[in-house]
Amino acid sequence: KGELMKGKKGLVMGVANSNSIAWGIASQLAAQGAEMAFSYQGENLERRVRPLAESIGVKHMIPADVTDDASMDAAFAEIEKVFGTLDFVVHSIAFADKDELKGSFVENTTRQGFLTAMNVSAFSFVDVARRASKLMPNGGAMVSMTYLGAERVIPNYNTMGVAKAALEAATRYIARDLGPAGIRVNAISAGAMRTLSLAGISGGRSMISQGRAFSALKQDTTMEGVAGCALWLLSDLGRSTTGEVVHVDAGFHMIGLPEGFGEG
Ligand code: NAD
C-alpha cells in the first residue's frame, strides 16, 4: 500500500478477465490510492469484469467499443459526468483476426484483417488520447501496451506487429501534440504473458518460453513488473518522461544472439 496515485482519477480500458494486463495495472494503481473507472468491450464481458472492479473499489463500469464512434461518445460523456476531469488513462486494447496471426505475413494478410488490426489496436489510441485530453485541464498521463513485434520480426505476430509499430509511432506524435498541455504519453513494451490475447496468436506459448530462455534475466515477464512500470509512468515519478517506449521484458529485446550461438 502506498499513496503514489492518491487524488488521481483515471480510466482503465481493456480489462477482460483476471489475466488481463489492464487488471494487473489497475490492481497496483488501486493499491496506491488511484480512483478509477473501467471501460469494457461489451455487455457480455460485464459479468466477468464487475466483480473484479468491485474487489478494488472501482465504482464506474462503462461499456466502450473502440470501433464504434457512438459508443465512444457515450463512454466519454459518462466519464465526464462521473469524474469531471481525468488524470490518467490506461489503453490496454488490441485485436486481430486469428487468421492474420499465423504463417506468412505477406501471403496471409488481407485488406480487411489489416484494417481491423490497425483500427482496434492503433487508431483507437489516437481517438482515446484526443477525447481524454479534453478532460485533462491540469495535465495528465497516458500509457498504451505494445510488443517487440513492432520493432523486430516475431513469427506469427504479423499484422499485429505492423499495428504495434503504428501505435508506437502514434505515441510519439501524440506526446508532442499534448506535451505543452502537460500531458505525458508513453507505451510499455511488455514481454509475452499468458492472457486471452496471447492465446489468439499461433505459437503464443512458445513466445513465452523463448522469451524466458533468451532474456537477460532468464525469467518470465511478470504482471507486477509491467504494472510497476505503469505506476512509474502514470504517477508523478514519471514527470519528465514522455514519448517513450519502455521495454518490460526481462531484458529480451536487447539480446542480439542467444547464448550458445557461435560457440565452438
Ligand atoms: P486481453 O485479451 O486480456 O486484453 C485485450 C483487451 O482488448 C480485452 O479487454 C478486449 O475486450 C479489448 N478489446 C478488443 N477489441 C476491443 C474493442 N473493439 N473495443 C474495446 N475493447 C476491445 O489481453 P492482454 O494481453 O491483457 O492485452 C492487453 C494489451 O497488452 C494489448 O494491447 C496487447 O497487444 C498488449 N500486450 C500483450 C502482451 C501479452 O503477451 N499478453 C505482450 C505485450 C503487449
All three cell numbers of 50, joined, read 464487475
3-state secondary structure of 184: strand
Distance 263 CA to ligand 1 centre (A): 39
Residue 260, pLDDT score: 77
d(CA 84, CA 8): 12
Ranges of each domain in the chain? 9-248
Distance 259 CA to ligand 1 centre (A): 32
d(CA 42, CA 213): 37
Q: Which residue puts its alpha carbon closest to atom 19 of ligand 1?
A: 65
Question: Which of 147, 161, 244, 248 does the annotation list as catalytic?
Answer: 147
Strand partners, 184: 141
Residue 264, pLDDT score: 61
Q: Is 93 in the pocket of ligand 1 (CB under 6 A)?
A: yes
* Residue 56 φ then ψ, to 5°: -120, 20
The answer to whether 173 is a known catalytic residue is: no
1 confidence band (pLDDT: 50, 70, 90): confident
Strand partners, 186: 143
d(CA 223, CA 230): 11
Residue 209, pLDDT score: 93
Q: Is 92 in the pocket of ligand 1 (CB under 6 A)?
A: yes
Question: Which of 38, 40, 157, 252 does the annotation list as catalytic?
Answer: 157
Residue 43, pLDDT score: 84
d(CA 232, CA 199): 28
Q: Is 115 in the pocket of ligand 1 (CB under 6 A)?
A: no
* Residue 34 φ then ψ, to 5°: -70, 145
Percentage with pLDDT > 90 across the chain: 93
Q: What pTM, to 2 d.p., does this model score?
A: 0.98
d(CA 17, CA 259): 36
Cα 158–164–228 angle (5° rounding)? 125
Percentage with pLDDT > 70 across the chain: 99
Q: Is 65 in the pocket of ligand 1 (CB under 6 A)?
A: yes
Q: Which residue puts its alpha carbon closest to atom 29 of ligand 1?
A: 92
Distance 93 CA to ligand 1 centre (A): 4
Name residue, grid cell 463512454.
Answer: 75
d(CA 73, CA 183): 21
Name residue, grid cell 488524470.
Answer: 87
pLDDT, tens only, 120-157:
999 999 999 999 999 999 999 999 999 999 999 999 99
Q: Where are the alpha helices (DSSP H) in the chain?
A: 21-31, 43-55, 69-83, 105-108, 111-118, 124-133, 158-178, 196-199, 204-214, 223-234
Mean pLDDT over all residues of the chain? 96
pLDDT, tens only, 20-63:
999 999 999 999 999 999 999 988 899 999 999 999 999 999 99
d(CA 165, CA 147): 9
Predicted complex ipTM: 0.99
3-state secondary structure of 212: helix
Distance 218 CA to ligand 1 centre (A): 25
Residue 103, pLDDT > 80, answer yes
Residue 138, pLDDT score: 96
Ligand 1 atom nearest the C-alpha of 67 is 18
Residue 262, pLDDT > 80, answer no
Stretch 93-99: mean pLDDT: 97
Stretch 165-178: mean pLDDT: 98
pLDDT, tens only, 223-254:
999 999 999 999 999 999 999 999 999 999 99
Q: Is 122 in the pocket of ligand 1 (CB under 6 A)?
A: no
Count each helix (H run) and each strand (E run) in the chain, helices first. Answer: 10, 7
179 confidence band (pLDDT: 50, 70, 90): very high
Distance 101 CA to ligand 1 centre (A): 14
Task: Using the CB atoms, write b or e for 16-26: b if 16+ within 10 Å.
Answer: beebbbbbbbb
Residue 13, pLDDT > 70, answer yes
Task: Name the CATH code of domain 9-248 (choices 1.20.1580.10, 3.90.1560.10, 3.30.70.2740, 3.40.50.720).
Answer: 3.40.50.720
Residue 65, pLDDT > 90, answer yes
Residue 40, pLDDT score: 97
Residue 77, pLDDT score: 98
Q: Is 143 in the pocket of ligand 1 (CB under 6 A)?
A: no
